[in-house]
Structure 1
Amino acid sequence: EHHHLHLSSCHECLQLENSTIESVRFASAENIPELSEDCNSKLEEKSDDCLARGIKRVNLAGKPPNVLIYLGSETAKVEFEQVKSILQECIDVDSYTIYQLHEEQVLKDPWVDNSLLLIIATEQPISEENHKQFMKFLSKGGKILGFSSSFTFNGIQIKRKNKLKKTVHELVVSKMDSTEIKLNLLLSGRVFEEVMKADTSKVKTLSRLNNADKDAVIVHLTYGDSGGEAVLSQAHLELDINSMNVLTEEDFNLLKRSNTKRYEVLKEILVSLGLSCELSETPTLTPIYLFSSDEEIHLAFLKWLEGNVDAAGVRASSKVSLKFVSSSESKMEVTPSLVPVITEMGSFSSEHFSLETYQQNLQTKKLGKILLFSEVTTTTMNLLDG
């Protein structure tokens, strides 16, 4: 009877939302989002020094690592998968989540504050309302990558050159180390030009066509004082060679020979926008530890477990089953579908979490006293059913 689920309106649950998250912020080196401003925590003044030590921020703007792909008013499932696929081949897929930003979500969903990168991959005109929303995103430190889109700002406008549309042309790209790289890409038929003399600190041409006009086809723009920036391209960096309707065998061969360089340029652009393109090793799964600072509550929980596990000590669920064992000496293998839960703390230690600090900063009377902790797990969403 001590283990019923609480409603979200329960006063002590609301305390848990504030107090427990505060405790984890102190005890863990993870970059946990700030609590809302109306959370009157007594720990707020003390937190700055603790948070400054050992916290690895995903990005300088402090935004969640969400990458959004905007494809205009069309559903464009095929195009979304194409852009998503090329991104997944470039970035560290374990560090970012890729979503499609649908037309109806642009003005009403809170993506502006909860996304790191917006990719605009549509040749459709950008409405005035959407343009304002994209600029708002930039003003809050967001990053934009444009693939053959009409989106521009900072005194840069688009000029149509129909003779270049769907043609393969050689580009000269300036890299961050001041070297240049030449490659052939399919063009959109549009180039960038300055309406007025732009501030060179806010506008930089990254690539020009290797032709008489030296047309600008990739530009880097900055906006605001919060780190907002955009890289806009009128060359199809996002298109795989097999998804193009190339007219001639010569064009196909030119694109094929430039494919490795295309990935190199795209990765460099993504890195310049703050993303990581270094592949990380998948960490080994670890067991779950059952902690409690109150012996009475701990014993009551173990007593409750006796009637809620099978003869082998397993609490089964549809996705992940938990096997409760007394100590880590059992050497049980951790798998995505079966995870051991060690009920005796023993000589537990972690560089990422301090149980003592957690307990010192926990302010609830009962909630949060039982803690399940794991260094590495596949998910926390479906460890238990119900």
Structure 2
Amino acid sequence: EHHHLHIFSCHECLQLEKSTIEAIKLASREDIPKLSDDSNSKLEDKNDDHLAKGMKRVNLAGKPPNVLIYLGSETAKVEFEQVKSVLQECIDADSYTIYQLHEEQVLKDPWIDNSLLLVIATEEPISEECHKQFMKFLSKGGKILGFSSSFTFDGIRIKRKNKLKKTVHELVVSKMDSTEIKLNLLVSGSIFEEVVKKDTSKVKTLCRLNNADKDAVIVHLTYGDNGGEAILSQAHLELDISSMEVQTEEDFNLLKLSNAKRCDILKEILMMLGLSCELSEIPMLTPIYLLSSDEEMHLAFLKWLEGNVDSEGLRASSKMSLKFVSSYKSKMEITPSLVPVITEMGSFSSEHFNLKTYLQNLQTKKLGKIVLFTEVTTTTMNLLDG
């Protein structure tokens, strides 16, 4: 069974009115650092490490931190887990969520506005309809990472070299600091060729075969005026040593020696596409606060709650259970599976959320009147059953 992205499958989310979302935005007060027009410009204060880290993590496209993996027409559960595992070894896993994008979702689901990175990891031909959607994603500031796929666009095309297929070759990689490193990788049997067009200046070769023809196997392309860009690879960066089928023991040893470099190159590519590969410090979980628009509604909700919790105030769920208590005590246990919910509104305060501002901007009749607010939680996607 396919599991759709929460943002377009959750019935409650589809009913949520625009004004509710705007109210949340206005009530959430976070000091987001402003960027200059040149997003690569250096920070004036080099000593402010905290700000520097924050700047690196700014998402210029303003997209949710969803990473999608497209594997063509097949369900490809094993391949999905394989690519997902490789990505999780590189990116800050606490900052991004990885999903599979199925072919039937490409045309009908609104993933384009709700994803930061699309990974295309199939050798199947890309249909014209899917290609149009992928280009639309780029035009809206999306990022694409291609792993041995047939996906290309302006300025570049794929040329087959069958003698290279599934063979191990030495590659020369140009890094961001202008240095070059060499490593051995399994290649797909295809290379990239530039097409003579006026916009070929937008194509940059990042990696080539160490042969007489200097065949390009990893290229970087930009698209549109909103920061869209793609890095396409015909070298199998997505395969770790245990996933590769090699012909000889010599090839296996070459790949084994290059595995650490492969990981480093993949991390650098992901950073070029705007993702964070620095491990972030995991914050402590915080209690949930039950907030409402007025006292009458608050009391009515608590009355309803009496018949929906056990004798200890516990509302059990398969992934997270909520324990409703009147006030917070510092020794209360907070775990990913058990979180206290504070029902007395008088004890609530937050530097990131202003309830008064939220309610002033809320224009719905029913939605959004009862709020469960917490500073830090494992996820907001599937906390409760039903």
Given the two structures, how large is their TM-score scaled by the length of structure 1?
Answer: 0.81
Q: Would you say the 8 A contact 2:57–2:276 is kept in 1?
A: no
Flag the 1:199–1:281 CA change in 2: closer, same or farther, 3 A: same
Question: What's the CA shift for 1:369?
Answer: 4.4
Deviates more, 1:92-101 or 1:192-201: 192-201
Question: What's the CA shift for 1:104?
Answer: 2.9
State the distance in 1 between where 2:207 and 2:56 align: 33
Flag the 1:306–1:128 CA change in 2: closer, same or farther, 3 A: closer
Give yes or no for the alignment of 1:376 onto 2:376: yes
Flag the 1:345–1:57 CA change in 2: closer, same or farther, 3 A: farther
Q: Would you say the 8 A contact 2:194–2:200 is kept in 1?
A: no
Flag the 1:374–1:272 CA change in 2: closer, same or farther, 3 A: same
Question: What's the CA shift for 1:57?
Answer: 8.2
Question: What's the CA shift for 1:24?
Answer: 1.6
Which consecutive segments of 4 or more residues in structure 1 shift more than 6 A?
54-57
**Aligned pairs for 1:233-248 within 5 A:** 233-248=233-248
Structure 1 counterpart SS, 2:252: helix
Give yes or no for the alignment of 1:163 onto 2:163: yes
Q: Could you tell me which residue of structure 1 aligns to residue 260 of structure 2?
A: 260
Q: How many aligned positions are there?
A: 353
Q: Could you tell me which residue of structure 1 aligns to residue 132 of structure 2?
A: 132
Question: What's the CA shift for 1:29?
Answer: 4.0
**Aligned residue identity for 2:338:** L
Q: Would you say the 8 A contact 1:28–1:354 is kept in 2?
A: yes
Question: What's the CA shift for 1:244?
Answer: 1.4
Structure 1 counterpart SS, 2:373: strand
Give yes or no for the alignment of 1:67 onto 2:67: yes
Deviates more, 1:327-336 or 1:136-145: 327-336
Once the two structures are superposed, residues 25-57 of structure 1 have per-residue CA deviations (whole angstroms, 9 ceiling, x without a partner) of: 1111479xxxxxxxxxxxxxxxxxxxxxx9998
Q: Could you tell me which residue of structure 2 aligns to residue 37 of structure 1?
A: none
Flag the 1:307–1:123 CA change in 2: closer, same or farther, 3 A: closer
Flag the 1:177–1:341 CA change in 2: closer, same or farther, 3 A: same
Deviates more, 1:176-185 or 1:122-131: 122-131
**Aligned residue identity for 1:329:** K
Q: Could you tell me which residue of structure 1 aligns to residue 100 of structure 2?
A: 100
Structure 2 counterpart SS, 1:170: strand
Structure 1 counterpart SS, 2:207: strand
Once the two structures are superposed, residues 198-250 of structure 1 have per-residue CA deviations (whole angstroms, 9 ceiling, x without a partner) of: 64530111111111111111111111112111111111111111111211111
**Aligned pairs for 1:335-354 within 5 A:** 335-354=335-354
Question: What's the CA shift for 1:94?
Answer: 2.2
Q: Could you tell me which residue of structure 2 aligns to residue 41 of structure 1?
A: none
Deviates more, 1:252-261 or 1:162-171: 162-171
State the distance in 1 between where 2:147 and 2:178 align: 23
State the distance in 2 between where 1:123 and 1:368 align: 45
Q: Could you tell me which residue of structure 2 aligns to residue 80 of structure 1?
A: 80
Flag the 1:346–1:264 CA change in 2: closer, same or farther, 3 A: same
**Aligned residue identity for 2:167:** T
**Aligned residue identity for 1:253:** N
Question: What's the CA shift for 1:332?
Answer: 1.3
Q: Could you tell me which residue of structure 2 aligns to residue 285 of structure 1?
A: 285
State the distance in 1 between where 2:134 and 2:21 align: 32
State the distance in 2 between where 1:59 and 1:74 align: 31
**Aligned residue identity for 1:334:** I
Once the two structures are superposed, residues 290-315 of structure 1 have per-residue CA deviations (whole angstroms, 9 ceiling, x without a partner) of: 33453343344444444554433334
Q: Could you tell me which residue of structure 2 aligns to residue 226 of structure 1?
A: 226
Flag the 1:193–1:289 CA change in 2: closer, same or farther, 3 A: same
**Aligned pairs for 1:173-212 within 5 A:** 173-196=173-196, 199=199, 201-212=201-212
Q: Would you say the 8 A contact 2:144–2:231 is kept in 1?
A: yes
Q: Would you say the 8 A contact 2:287–2:340 is kept in 1?
A: yes
Flag the 1:330–1:238 CA change in 2: closer, same or farther, 3 A: closer
Structure 2 counterpart SS, 1:110: coil
State the distance in 2 between where 1:364 and 1:72 align: 41
Percent identity, please: 85
Question: What's the CA shift for 1:268?
Answer: 0.7
Q: Would you say the 8 A contact 1:29–1:56 is kept in 2?
A: no
Structure 2 counterpart SS, 1:181: strand
State the distance in 2 between where 1:114 and 1:60 align: 14
State the distance in 1 between where 2:382 and 2:159 align: 52
Question: What's the CA shift for 1:257?
Answer: 0.8
Structure 2 counterpart SS, 1:183: strand
Unaligned runs of 5+ in 1: 1-7, 32-53
Structure 2 counterpart SS, 1:372: strand
State the distance in 1 between where 2:278 and 2:60 align: 18
Once the two structures are superposed, residues 331-373 of structure 1 have per-residue CA deviations (whole angstroms, 9 ceiling, x without a partner) of: 3111233222223344543221122322333445776444322
State the distance in 2 between where 1:194 and 1:138 align: 19
**Aligned residue identity for 2:325:** V
**Aligned residue identity for 1:141:** G
State the distance in 1 between where 2:385 and 2:75 align: 34
Q: Could you tell me which residue of structure 1 aligns to residue 8 of structure 2?
A: none
State the distance in 2 between where 1:128 and 1:301 align: 52
Once the two structures are superposed, residues 253-300 of structure 1 have per-residue CA deviations (whole angstroms, 9 ceiling, x without a partner) of: 111111111011111111111111122233221111233453343344
Flag the 1:30–1:96 CA change in 2: closer, same or farther, 3 A: farther
Q: Which has the higher Rg, Structure 1 or Structure 2?
A: 1
State the distance in 2 between where 1:236 and 1:125 align: 18
State the distance in 2 between where 1:68 and 1:289 align: 32
Q: Would you say the 8 A contact 1:29–1:55 is kept in 2?
A: no
State the distance in 1 between where 2:232 and 2:56 align: 29
Flag the 1:143–1:368 CA change in 2: closer, same or farther, 3 A: closer
**Aligned residue identity for 1:374:** T
Q: Could you tell me which residue of structure 2 aligns to residue 45 of structure 1?
A: none
